[in-house]
C-alpha cells in the first residue's frame, strides 16, 4: 500500500471479499492439439492453479460446450459450426470438454458453469449466481484473451463489475491479437479494467 491506501499497481485499491475469480475455458479442447489448440495455455496453467488454490471457493470455471449439431445454434453461430463440423458434440470426444486435470481437481469447492456462447453473461443464471453472492468485482484468467475472455470482460463491464485481469494468466492462440487486446484494455477501458500479474493480484486479494 502507499500513503493513499491504494495498491500501487491496482489503481482502485485492494481486492475485497465481494470478488470472484472467473477462469475462462481452461479445457482440454484448447490445451491439446485440436483445431482450436491454444499452444501457450500450458504456460499460464501454473498461475491459474495458484489463483484457484488460494481462492477456490470464490472461483467459477466457465466451460465452452458446443451444440450437438450446427442447427441448434442461432444465426451466424451455424456458420461457425459448419466451418468446424468436428467440434459439434455428435463428433467431438466429450472428454475434451473437461477442465485441465489440476483445475478439475479443485471442483468443488470451485464451481463449474457451462456455456454455449463466448460470454457467460448472456445467461441469466450466471448473472443471478453472481448477484446471489453479492459479487462486485471479477478477477479474470483463462483463454482466449481475444475471444471468450474479451466477451466475458465486456459483459462484466456492461453490468458494472470491477474487472481485474491477471496478465500472466491469460492466453490466446494468436500472439498479435493477444497483445492488441491487452493494449486495448489498458488504453480504452482504464476506468473499468485493471491489469496486473498473478503475484500482484494474489497480494492485493486478501
Domains of the chain: 19-69+96-204 (3.40.50.850)
Burial class (CB in 10 A: 0-12, 13-18, 19+), 190: exposed
Per-residue pLDDT reduced to its tens digit, 123-146: 999 999 999 999 999 999 999 999
- What pLDDT, on the 0 to 100 scale, is given for residue 6? 42
- What pLDDT, on the 0 to 100 scale, is given for residue 206? 81
Question: pTM of the prediction?
Answer: 0.94
φ, ψ (nearest 5 deg) of residue 173: -85, -5
Per-residue pLDDT reduced to its tens digit, 53-110: 999 999 999 999 999 999 999 999 999 999 999 999 999 999 999 999 999 999 999 9
Total residue length of the chain: 206
Q: How confident is the model at residue 39 (pLDDT cuts 50, 70, 90)?
A: very high
**Cα dihedral 24, 26, 31, 35 sign:** negative
In sequence order, what are the beta bridge partners of 166? 196
Amino acid at each position: 500500500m502507499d500513503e493513499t491506501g491504494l495498491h500501487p499497481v491496482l489503481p482502485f485499491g485492494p481486492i475485497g471479499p465481494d470478488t470472484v475469480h472467473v477462469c475462462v475455458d481452461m479445457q482440454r479442447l484448447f490445451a491439446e492439439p485440436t483445431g482450436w489448440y491454444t499452444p501457450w495455455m500450458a504456460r499460464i496453467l501454473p498461475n491459474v492453479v495458484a489463483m484457484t488454490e488460494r481462492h477456490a471457493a470464490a472461483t467459477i470455471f466457465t466451460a465452452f460446450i458446443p451444440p450437438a449439431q450446427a442447427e441448434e445454434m442461432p444465426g451466424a453461430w451455424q456458420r461457425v459450426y459448419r466451418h468446424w463440423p468436428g467440434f459439434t458434440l455428435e463428433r467431438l470426444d466429450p472428454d475434451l470438454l473437461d477442465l485441465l486435470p489440476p483445475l478439475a481437481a479443485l471442483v468443488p469447492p470451485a464451481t463449474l458453469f457451462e456455456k454455449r456462447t463466448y460470454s457467460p453473461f448472456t445467461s441469466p443464471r450466471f448473472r443471478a449466481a453472481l448477484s446471489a453472492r453479492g459479487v462486485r468485482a471479477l478477477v479474470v484468467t483463462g483463454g482466449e484473451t481475444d475471444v471468450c475472455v474479451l466477451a466475458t470482460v465486456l459483459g462484466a463491464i456492461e453490468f458494472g463489475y470491477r474487472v481485474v485481469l491477471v496478465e500472466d494468466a491469460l492466453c490466446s492462440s494468436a500472439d498479435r491479437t493477444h497483445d492488441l487486446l491487452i493494449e486495448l484494455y489498458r488504453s480504452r477501458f482504464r476506468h473499468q479494467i485493471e491489469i496486473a500479474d498473478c503475484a500482484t493480484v494474489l497480494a492485493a486479494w486478501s
